[in-house]
């Protein structure tokens, strides 16, 4: 499956639902905005509906104001375009809007994607779904407008860690250059995403760094955030984004792990990062999660101390 075949599929329908995974980040939000804009330029009717709210950090993008949290009662879609989502359950309650007979167009780059759609375009070599939506614009031969370029640039920049992760390719840079030619200013985008931390979120980072631990062999580093730490600092959940990278950046570390207590008692969200030698998608899959080879996650039930012990035990197996 490629962009041309997705183009053919899109031409068959007039009304679309566009959605992506719960707890969205730059790639899922940017890709949805750009894809919805493309569809509207083709004369299609579109609604974007997500279970989770748009992170405050991303609300500068034009189009985020159109993202809904509930399906409009009077809108009957013919096809659902699901972006950046390895399986339908990751849509949360929005998955309930998609019936067994619904035509699903699945566009994703996760290695753990379950190919749940009628049309499955899964490109694990793409740095982001933002790259894939860019290819879709080219397949339709549409000139990219400024707001679309911003959305795709943010999608790509955030999923590549500002073009420094292992998933960054020459193609990634060529696409970014094309988007810059469409009016995107890289320093402005970087500032909006990476240099707008609140005092509360910075305080949370300080608290989290005090929990930093490294295994005896130096190959695993981990840290955590509890509900009490969030309450003490008055930080947002968005403030936890990127904390794991401080563990990952330590010399010799092959697996970085970040534990965060969720709002639900007895549930801990676990994030994994690697520098490439260890496939952390396999580690996440062991706990019924998934993602990419160098970035993945899962949710584990239990007390923080129990989850930490269980996850670290399996991580040690991975680095041997």
Tens of pLDDT, residues 246-257: 999 999 999 999
Same structural domain, 17 and 88: yes
Q: At CA 215, angle to CA 315 and CA 202, rounded to 5?
A: 95
**3-state DSSP assignment of residue 213:** strand
* Contacts of 67 by beta carbon, 8 Å cutoff, 6+ apart: 29, 32, 33, 48, 49, 50, 54
Q: What is the pLDDT of residue 42?
A: 98
pLDDT digits (tens, 9 = 90+) for 105-114: 999 999 889 9
Same structural domain, 126 and 215: no
Choosing from 145, 172, 194, the residue where a domain stops is 194
Radius of gyration of the CA atoms of the chain, in A: 19
Same structural domain, 222 and 89: no
Identify the residue with better confidence: 129 or 265: 129
Give mean pLDDT, residues 287-312.
Answer: 92
Q: Helices H, strands E: what count in the chain? A: 11, 12
Distance between CA atoms of residues 25 and 241, nearest Å: 9
Check whether 262 has a pLDDT greater than 90.
no
Check whether 142 has a pLDDT greater than 80.
yes
Check whether 233 has a pLDDT greater than 80.
yes
Which value, to the nearest 10 degrees, does the dihedral of the CA atoms of residues 26, 32, 37, 38 take?
110
Closest CA to 172 of 131, 136, 121: 131
Choosing from 177, 194, 211, the residue where a domain stops is 194
Closest CA to 38 of 121, 148, 117: 148
Distance of CA 180 to the CA centre of its chain: 22
Same structural domain, 71 and 219: no
Give mean pLDDT, residues 240-247.
Answer: 92
Distance between CA atoms of residues 170 and 82, nearest Å: 26
Same structural domain, 164 and 237: no
Q: Where are the beta strands (DSSP E) in the chain?
A: 15-20, 45-49, 67-68, 79-83, 103-108, 119-122, 213-214, 220-225, 255-261, 267-274, 290-291, 295-301
Give mean pLDDT, residues 265-278.
Answer: 90
Closest CA to 103 of 92, 89, 91, 119: 119
Q: What is the pLDDT of residue 320?
A: 83
Give mean pLDDT, residues 57-81.
Answer: 94
Choosing from 194, 220, 246, the residue where a domain stops is 194
Domain total in the chain: 2
Check whether 294 has a pLDDT greater than 80.
yes
H or E segment and range at residue 117: none
pTM of this prediction? 0.90
Same structural domain, 147 and 43: yes
The end-to-end CA distance of the chain, in Å, is 37
pLDDT digits (tens, 9 = 90+) for 20-61: 998 899 999 999 999 999 999 999 999 999 999 999 999 999
Burial pattern 218-229, b for ≥16 Cβ within 10 A else e, equals ebbbbbbbbeeb
Identify the residue with better confidence: 289 or 140: 140
Same structural domain, 123 and 208: no
Same structural domain, 145 and 220: no
Same structural domain, 283 and 305: yes
pLDDT digits (tens, 9 = 90+) for 209-220: 999 999 999 999
Q: What is the pLDDT of residue 157?
A: 97
- Spatial contact of 248 and 261, defined as CB atoms under 8 Å apart: no
Query: What residues pair up with 201 in beta bridges, in sequence order?
Result: none
* Residue range of the domain that includes 73: 3-194
Same structural domain, 158 and 263: no
Going by their DSSP bridges, the two strands 255-261 and 220-225 should be labelled as parallel
Closest CA to 173 of 128, 141, 109, 139: 128
Q: What is the mean pLDDT of the chain?
A: 94
Residue 100's pLDDT band, with cuts at 50, 70 and 90, is confident
- Spatial contact of 296 and 283, defined as CB atoms under 8 Å apart: yes
Q: What is the pLDDT of residue 120?
A: 96
Q: What is the pLDDT of residue 263?
A: 72
CATH of the domain at 147: 3.90.1640.10
pLDDT digits (tens, 9 = 90+) for 150-198: 999 999 999 999 998 888 999 999 999 999 999 999 999 999 999 988 9
Identify the residue with better confidence: 13 or 276: 13
Check whether 118 has a pLDDT greater than 90.
yes
CATH of the domain at 304: 3.10.310.30
Check whether 264 has a pLDDT greater than 80.
no
Same structural domain, 95 and 211: no
Q: What is the pLDDT of residue 247?
A: 96
Same structural domain, 71 and 143: yes
């Amino acid at each position: 499956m490629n962009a041309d075949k997705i183009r053919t599929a899109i031409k068959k329908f007039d009304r679309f639902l566009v959605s992506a995974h719960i707890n969205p980040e730059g790639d899922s939000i940017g890709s949805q905005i750009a894809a919805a804009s493309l569809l509207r330029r083709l004369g299609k009717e579109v609604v974007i509906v997500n279970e989770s709210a748009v992170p405050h950090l991303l609300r500068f993008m034009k189009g985020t104001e159109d993202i809904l949290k509930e399906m409009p009662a009077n809108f009957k879609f013919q096809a659902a375009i699901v972006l950046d989502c390895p399986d339908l359950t990751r849509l949360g309650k929005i998955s309930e809007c998609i019936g067994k007979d619904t035509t699903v167009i699945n566009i994703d780059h996760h290695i753990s994607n379950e190919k749940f759609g009628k049309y499955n375009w899964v490109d694990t070599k793409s740095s982001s779904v933002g790259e894939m939506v860019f290819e879709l614009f080219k397949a339709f031969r549409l000139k990219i407008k400024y707001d679309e370029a911003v959305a795709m640039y943010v999608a790509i920049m955030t999923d590549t860690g500002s073009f420094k992760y292992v998933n960054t390719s020459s193609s990634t840079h060529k696409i970014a250059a094309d988007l810059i030619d469409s009016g995107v200013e890289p320093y402005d985008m970087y500032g909006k995403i990476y240099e707008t931390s609140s005092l509360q979120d910075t305080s949370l980072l300080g608290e989290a760094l005090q929990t930093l631990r490294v295994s005896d062999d130096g190959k695993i580093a981990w840290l955590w955030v509890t509900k009490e730490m969030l309450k003490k600092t008055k930080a947002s959940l968005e403030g936890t984004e990127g904390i794991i990278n401080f563990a990952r950046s330590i010399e010799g570390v092959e697996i970085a792990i970040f534990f965060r207590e969720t709002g639900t008692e007895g549930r801990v969200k676990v994030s994994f990062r690697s520098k490439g030698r260890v496939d952390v998608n396999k580690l996440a899959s062991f706990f019924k999660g998934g993602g990419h080879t160098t970035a993945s996650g899962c949710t584990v039930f239990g007390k923080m101390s129990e989850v930490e012990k269980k996850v670290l035990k399996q991580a040690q197996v991975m680095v041997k």
